[in-house]
Amino acid sequence: MADQIIFKVNDMTCEGCASKIRAVLEGSDLTQTVDINVADKEVRVSGTLSENEAFDMVKTAGYTPSPKKKGWLDKIF
Specify the fold of 3-70: Alpha-Beta Plaits (3.30.70)
- Answer yes or no: is pLDDT of 12 > 90: yes
- Phi then psi dihedrals of residue 60, to 5 deg: -65, -25
Q: Where do the structural domains in the chain lie, given as residue ranges? A: 3-70
CB 65 within 8 A of CB 36: no
Mean local confidence (pLDDT), 9-23? 97
pTM (2 d.p.): 0.86
Mean local confidence (pLDDT), 3-29? 96
Q: What is the pLDDT of residue 76?
A: 52
Each residue of 18-61: pLDDT tens digit?
Answer: 999 999 999 999 999 999 999 999 999 999 999 999 999 999 99
